[in-house]
Structure 1
Amino acid sequence: MEKIPSGACKTLHLVRHAQGMHNLESEKSRDPLTSFEFFDAQLSSQGWQQVRQKRKDVCANGLLKRIELVITSPMSRTLQTAVGIFHGEDQPELSDVTSYEEGNGRISDNDQQPTFNRPPIIALEVCRERLGKYECDKRGTISHYRSHFPAVDFSLIENEDDILWEANKREPFGDVLARGMKFINWLWTRKETEIAVVSHALKTVKYVQSAFLMKV
């Protein structure tokens, strides 16, 4: 059996965003998915609780020390989840979810030197939810996200506005898979070997997994 060269393997930690407001409301009906009220849906209160718990978990099990890079979809709920888990409070058991929620997970400029590792976070358009039709999956401007999530690198996103989302057309699954392949091809160009990917629904994650298996 041919030996795999050192550095040729990567460990991916696939993370679905915490509960969003659209998830909470869609349990009652499908209307919130197409309602402008849930445009680029943010995390619910329960979602923020999930972020706090996951932050505790990654700190307690040592995972945060190993993660070299975090990649996230450029949507509010994934950005909030990524920043909250990987750049959150140094002592999560003391964190105030309410104030953290109001700040969109921002880290104050007055914070002291962090005790825990804060890996770089990169936003990628190809990691978004399946595109089209649902307002909750339409993103805002990159300028807006930059102002609310200053720790995230948005430099790889070319367009200020969302030119991918279409109101009357749902993205074909084949196109989702193609996005997954594009992402995996890009991933292999990175030097990091242990990476967290914060994305969307289980079905979308499965397409990323399929693309990864096809690549290897």
Structure 2
Amino acid sequence: MAGTMGREGRVFPEYDSDGFVHNEASGFSLYMQERCKRIFFIRHAEGFHNLAERESTVVPKVNILLAENSGDKYVDAKLTPFGEQQCAKLKANIRGDTVWGFDKPLNLDLVVCSPLTRCLQTAVLSLGDPGAPGAPPFIVNELCRERIADYTCDRRRKRSVLKADFPSINFDLVKDEEDTMFLNQKEGDSTEGEAKCSERGVEFLKWLCGRPEIHIAVVTNSVFLKSLFSQFGSNLSREDQECIHKFPANAEMRSIMLCAHRKLASTKEEGEQPPSKKQKTLWNGA
């Protein structure tokens, strides 16, 4: 619809009223195309912390991930070999016809990652090499990281260490060398409450809607996704509610249409250069 003359002779991208119409009686909603993005939310594959919790003899099992029970063993836990296999399976499914029905299954404009290593690994192993010719930008954003609690697995490593391990991924939005979000939370309330995590999720959606890209993959964590999705779907069918609200499995992907009800300010970083269309056609996730 971009470039089409709209109300009172204005071009629709400049029209800043509510960009949707919802008719509850009919069960349909109409949205302006430029307000909509297709988001592929992906939970990371199995990490060593997931394996530790499953095999734990501590009660409750998840407490094996507390510092008093395992020290720093599971800080920013990496993927298990089985987790890497899950990524390979997800990549194969993405390349097939079960998810996308067009010629380039990995037709992504942007990949956004939680700063935790298991998410970064999942993004690269499932979606493709960010350093390959024509790859879309891979950007780390701490707004979509796991809810902060007492568990050491949810503390990221130093920014410089992560950058060294993933040199083709953009860490510009990660401002601090140390994990100040985790450490500051620990100095106050030990757990980021669900309401606070949900608010952070909404801020992340605003950030996504301020981006120029349309097809975006978000590789993130389970409780963050649960907190985010639980805020939506009250007017959907029971079947769709169950699909959106169910707890995400490791390496599970959900395709969601994200529609903003108003025009939001751009969140593109100054000086950021997207790949050209010619470059993008070269990238197939290899």
The alignment's TM-score, normalised by the length of structure 1, stands at 0.80
For 2:73, the equivalent position in structure 1 comes to 37
Structure 1 residue 31 displacement after superposition: 4.2
Matches within 5 A, 1:1-216: 2=21, 4-29=31-56, 30-34=62-66, 35=70, 36-61=72-97, 62=100, 64-88=105-129, 118-165=135-182, 166-167=185-186, 169-201=190-222, 203-210=223-230, 216=261
Letter matched to residue 44 of structure 2: H
User: Taking structure 1 as reference, are residues 139 and 51 closer, same or farther at Cα in structure 2, changes over 3 Å only?
Assistant: same
> What letter is aligned with 2:164?
S
Instruction: Compute the displacement of 1:178 (Å).
Output: 1.1
The 10-residue stretch of structure 1 (56-65 or 18-27) with the greater mean CA deviation from structure 2: 56-65
**TM-score, scaled relative to structure 2:** 0.61
**Of the two, which has the highest radius of gyration?**
2
The number of equivalent residue pairs is 191
SS at match of 1:152: coil
Deviation of the 1:84 alpha carbon: 1.1
Partner Cα distance (1:187, 1:5) in 2: 16
Residue matched to 1:103: none
Q: 1:64 to 1:70 in 2, by over 3 A?
A: farther
Matched residue SS, 1:154: coil
| In 2: Cα distance, 1:125 partner to 1:13 partner | 18
Q: Is the 8 A contact 1:15 1:197 kept in 2?
A: yes
Q: Identity of aligned pairs, percent? A: 33
Gap change, CA 1:41 and 1:19, over 3 Å in 2: same
The one-letter amino acid paired with 1:83 is V
Q: How far is the alpha carbon of 1:77 from its aligned partner? A: 0.2
* C-alpha distance in 2 between matches for 1:14 and 1:128: 13
Q: Relative to structure 2, which stretch is displaced further, 163-172 or 66-75?
A: 163-172
Secondary structure of the residue aligned to 1:38 is coil
User: For residue 224 of structure 2, what is the amino acid of its counterpart?
Assistant: T
Deviation, 1:215, is 5.8
RMSD of the alignment, in Å? 2.4
The 3 A distance-change label for structure 1 pair 129 and 210 is same
User: Could you tell me whether the CA contact under 8 Å between 1:52 and 1:84 is conserved in 2?
Assistant: yes
**Residue by residue, what CA displacement relative to the aligned partner does 1:61-119 show, whole Å, maximum 9, x if unpaired?**
3564322111110011000001111125xxxxxxxxxxxxxxxxx96xxxxx66xx632
Q: Distance in 1 between matches of 2:93 and 2:34?
A: 27
Alignment CA distance shift 1:174-1:31 (3 Å): closer
Once residues 68 and 208 of structure 1 are traced to their aligned partners in structure 2, the CA distance between those partners, rounded to angstroms, is: 22
2 CA distance for matches of 1:160 and 1:208? 27
Matching residue's letter, 1:183: F
